[in-house]
Amino acid sequence: MSSDIPPVLSTLRHFLAIQDTSPEVLTALIELSIRRKIQFRRGELRPMLQGKTLAMIFQKSSLRTRLSFETAMTQLGGHAIYLEDHQVGVATREDIRDMARVTSSMCDGICARVFGHEIVEKLAAHGTVPVINALSDWAHPCQALADMMTLQERFGRLAGLRLAYVGDANNVARSLLNACTKLGVSVALASPAGYQIDKAQVDAAWPAARETGASITLTEEPAEAVADVDAIYTDVWTSMGQEAEREQRERAFAGYQVNAALLRRAKPTAVVMHCLPAHRNLEITDEVLDGPASIVFQQAENRLHTTRALLEVLLGKPNPG
């Protein structure tokens, strides 16, 4: 089965940010994930990571990400070790450079969920094994990969679709913007003043958008962003690490709820997306989250299929270290 991995994926060393990943690699990862999902359901997966170990360094809580990495390693015949920050002390008990070097000497890959994005970059720079960003304050590339896979499954294409992101311009929004523009999906971002995407991020996304013909629209008006789109996406207003700002954020985002009235402004065939966990009846209503337009739980399941494909590609190679 490994021979059917597209050659372009042999160029992939780490998966830290969508911004660093080429459109060809993203497309190949999505296609591989869809193929492996079908093979998985037929019981045709090969345990191709037998004897391999993934170290999972987590500074923050997780349901989907932890489940997807650990389950994928089990399904591929390998093993995963979950290391919480209070056990290993990222950058406190020891220097990240030493942690990277030691972990690389025993394990075949590292996935890390961290506050500062520079931590995953340092793990990659100082270790000798592939590093996967399992969410940083700046990016959530594994989520964006599963989101693109889910849209591809739903619409049978990505190029030419239109997506509106309504809410906080956070890690999920940044990765989504990069994935969409690289794959030809036009994006409209609706966020209140003070919570909008950095100009530098938008400037960095424009070259890919020009290449694929995607547009980028920034607005403060959710109704404007969702007009006639194929997909509406939202995420929590208060991300992990921002809990002290919760009240202030809930006030700022009060007009940004994804609800039935907003959904009616999108195309009749539009889907609703959320990376989860959701704060029900804050950023999204029960009615929409549980309604017929929601593909939220398909997104969540696809975290497993995309993660397994990533692990197969990155850990399936001989260890250069």
Instruction: Kindly state the smallest distance separating residue 137's Cβ from ligand NVA, in Å.
Output: 7
What is the rounded CA–CA span in Å between residue 293 and residue 269? 8
Dihedral over alpha carbons 191, 192, 195, 198 (to 10 degrees): 60
Closest CB 72 distance from ligand NVA, rounded Å:
17
Can you tell me which of 33, 170, 175, 212 binds ligand NVA, judged by CB under 6 A? 170
Using rule CB under 6 A, residue 196 touches ligand CP = no
Q: Which does 63 bind (CB under 5 to 8 A by kind): ligand CP, ligand NVA, none?
A: ligand CP
Q: How far is CA 87 from CA 84, 109, 241, in A?
A: 5, 19, 19
Query: Is 4 an annotated catalytic residue?
Result: no
Give yes or no for a contact between 189 and 169, defined as CB atoms under 8 angstroms apart. Answer: yes
Name the segment binding ligand NVA (CB under 6 A); options: 27-35, 79-87, 164-172, 291-299: 164-172
8 binding partner (options ligand CP, ligand NVA, none; Cβ < 5 to 8 Å by kind): none
**Total site size for ligand CP, rule CB under 6 A:** 9
Interface with ligand CP includes 64 (CB under 6 A)?
yes
Is residue 29 part of the contact set for ligand NVA (CB under 6 A)?
Answer: no
Q: Does the annotation count 303 as an active-site position?
A: yes
C-beta neighbour count of 136 within 10 angstroms: 24
With binding defined as CB under 6 A, does residue 17 bind ligand NVA? no
Query: Which among 57-65, 92-100, 201-209, 244-252 is the span making contact with ligand CP, rule CB under 6 A?
Result: 57-65
State the Cα–Cα distance between residues 73 and 71, nearest whole angstrom: 5
Contact between 65 and ligand CP by CB under 6 A: the answer reads yes
Catalytic site residue 75? no
Q: Is 301 in the site for ligand CP (CB under 6 A)?
A: no
Give least dist CB 136 to ligand NVA, A.
9
Q: Which residue is nearest to ligand CP (CB)?
A: 65
Provide the token pair at 165: 């992101």
Of the candidate residues 235, 258, 284, 310, the single one contacting ligand NVA (CB under 6 A): 235
3-state secondary structure of 112: strand
Of 96-104, 252-260, 272-280, 308-316, the segment contacting ligand CP by CB under 6 A is: 272-280
Angle of helix 296-315 relative to helix 23-41, nearest 10 degrees, comes to 100
From 162, 274, 303, 305, the catalytic residue = 303
Q: Is 177 helix (H, G, I), strand (E, B) or coil?
A: helix
Active-site residue, 107 included: no
Contact region with ligand NVA (CB under 6 A), list: 51-59, 202-210, 235-243, 250-258: 235-243
Q: Is 264 a catalytic residue?
A: no
What pairing do the DSSP bridges indicate for beta strands 271-274 and 79-84? Answer: unpaired
Residues 117-136 that bind ligand NVA (CB under 6 A): 135
Per CB under 6 A, the list member of 22, 38, 41, 63 interacting with ligand CP is: 63
Residues 6+ apart with CB under 8 A from 64: 276, 300, 303
Angle between helices 296-315 and 141-155 (to 10 degrees): 120
Residues near 187 by Cβ (< 8 Å), separated by ≥ 6?
A: 162, 163, 164, 165, 176, 177, 180, 181, 214, 215, 216, 217
- Near ligand NVA in 274-293, by CB under 6 A: 275
d(CA 73, CA 52): 8
Residues carrying an active site annotation:
113, 140, 143, 235, 275, 303
